[in-house]
Chain A
């Protein structure tokens, strides 16, 4: 016994209606995910900027401290040379003056220049000081700030932005699919099956792309959603 034509038509209507509901839900999910990814990208970018400011502020302070010590250390070294010249002069008054300077003045000059002028690790063979090493040590002393890695945040933001681009393509495919399915719902009998197939095919393509994009970027981000 053959099915009546109206029943077949009713079945097709139901199939299309179900498909439209499924595609709409998928589109809503893709839009939600796209917004989530966009928000995560903005968060990562914001964190990158904040970390850049924190790190730069820490670096600025370390350079300031380095050059402050360097100024005191240079002043100390010049006074030390003066004292040594007085000692080498052979003049009794100058030698006595040098002894007092060495005992009372030089330690006070060395104090603000420490550890640059007092720790041998910062002494260069020619009597100058290794400012780069002092700066590196100051940076290392605050690893919570100098160890910040803004580039990692910017890279993460970049990956989120890439995913957002592909999710937009996916959403466009789903919207196109929805359009063809709507056309199938309202279209004439001859075109109905063709438009339904086109809509279903585009939806399948969009769904596969959505899955690939999600899995790929999930792996690229090291398992972070």
Chain B
């Protein structure tokens, strides 16, 4: 024997109006919310990755500047020592010549010895100087000067490259972080749309349509904003 449960009291046909429309709008809102949530997660991940990279580049750039400072100090110290000894040698040689002309051979010999010592020091310092041993900076002629501009450009090249990379990563971080923040705002608007559609289902057909329109406006705004963020 079969029993039938009592049928619920039939509602008037008008009471169900726009319900399907609201359901369809809710489905669309769900799909858009899912897309925005994915985009927001992706933007956050990209922001985190670029944030890490920018910090790493900043550390490396600071290390390279430190190393480059030590190297420059050493190179300039050696070079200035070479210049000092070379000039001393020259002065002592001239003094020896003057003393020779004045008839003081003993004084001239002592001065010549000093000149030889200074020249020996200068020759050794020259061996250590990057400005005379590296063909990129060494003088092209016997009386020429080292190419200091090339030395400075080469010294800063690596640090400059690292700073460029750091800036690029920092810019990318700002861009993605801003996008992630914007997606969060869109998700808030979509939550409002959900609320409006949910409320619409519980109201009379006329108010249902009104709330559905409000929800659609929120949905359209969120969709347009999402497209704008994707395009920019």
| CB of B2 within 8 Å of the partner chain | yes
Chain A: which residue is nearest B66 at the CB level?
A: A60
B-contacting residues, A172-201, CB 8 Å: 172, 175-176, 179, 183, 187
Contact code string A58-102 (vs B, CB < 8 Å = 1, else 0): 011001101100110010011111101110010100100000000
Contact code string A130-170 (vs B, CB < 8 Å = 1, else 0): 00000000000000000000100010011001001100110
Structural contact, A41 and B77, CB atoms closer than 8 A:
no
| CB of A104 within 8 Å of the partner chain | no
Interface centre among B5, B34, B52, B81 (most CB of A within 10 A): B52
Q: Is the interface of B mostly helix, strand, loop or mixed?
A: helix
Instruction: Kindly provide the distance from the CB of A64 to the nearest chain B CB, expressed in whole angstroms.
Output: 6
Binds B, one of A15-23, A47-55, A212-220: A47-55
Structural contact, B113 and A48, CB atoms closer than 8 A:
no
On chain B, the residues within 8 Å of A56 by CB distance are 59-60, 62-63
A41–B55 Cα distance when bound, in Å, is 16
The count of residues in chain B whose C-beta lies closer than 8 Å to any C-beta of chain A is 48
A85–B48 Cα distance when bound, in Å, is 63
Structural contact, A157 and B52, CB atoms closer than 8 A:
yes
A-contacting residues, B16-44, CB 8 Å: 23, 27, 30-31, 34-35, 37-38, 41-42
Given the contacts A4-B3, A63-B70, A78-B81, A165 and B120 also touching, CB distance less than 8 Å: no
A94–B74 Cα distance when bound, in Å, is 31
Which residues in A have some Cβ–Cβ distance to B below 8 Å? 2, 4, 6, 41-42, 45, 48-49, 52-53, 56, 59-60, 63-64, 66-67, 70-71, 74, 77-82, 84-86, 89, 91, 94, 126-128, 150, 154, 157-158, 161, 164-165, 168-169, 171-172, 175-176, 179, 183, 187
Which residues in B have some Cβ–Cβ distance to A below 8 Å? 2-5, 23, 27, 30-31, 34-35, 37-38, 41-42, 45, 48-49, 52-53, 55-56, 59-60, 62-63, 66-67, 70-71, 73-74, 77-78, 81, 85, 109, 113, 116-117, 119-121, 123-125, 127-128, 133
